[in-house]
Amino acid sequence: MSVLVTGASGFVGSALIPLLIEKGHCVLGLSRHPPIGSRDLIPMVGDITEPNLGLDEVPKDITAIYHLAGIHRLGKDTDGSIWKTNVEGTRNVLAFCLKHNIRKLIFTSTAYTWPVNPYGLSKIQNESDITEFAKEHNIEVT
């Protein structure tokens, strides 16, 4: 089973990838900067804020996406990057699932799903978007 991990070079991604490889998965690690670590990881440079995640070529055998990428900042969103990355980026991941017939999405949210700051608002929107998308397109979401 080939799985794509967004945010592969981040804190959670760098901890998850070795576990997935240990379980026998072929892991494609998507990040704006090439993830380093395991020789068994297939690094992919891309960006969730771009259509098709910024990828020119996409392997045909991806069966699941672990969507970990995002901006984790509790302050103001003066430049709009929290919304662009967390909400629009997640919508691009959903479109990618649909375009490439990927039927399983594992999404990491947060305990901060409260509308008290831009980060919390973005995560509330993500959960809503993902729930609706899963219902509409019959995609398994965890």
Q: 116 in helix, strand or coil?
A: coil
DSSP 54: G
Q: Is 79 left (phi over 0), alpha (psi -120 to 50) or beta?
A: alpha
Kindly state the average pLDDT of the residues 55-73: 95
Q: 103 in helix, strand or coil?
A: coil
- Please state, in angstroms and rounded to a whole number, the distance separating the CA atoms of residues 28 and 119: 27
pLDDT at res. 109: 83
- Token pair listed for 97: 């699932």
Class of domain 2-141: alpha beta
Question: What pTM did the predictor assign?
Answer: 0.93
Question: Within 13 Å, how many C-alpha atoms sit on residue 23's CB side?
Answer: 9
pLDDT at res. 34: 73
CA-to-CA dists, residue 60 to 3, 28, 51, 69, angstroms: 11, 12, 17, 21
Quick: pLDDT tens for 91-135. Answer: 999 999 999 999 999 999 877 676 778 999 999 999 999 999 999
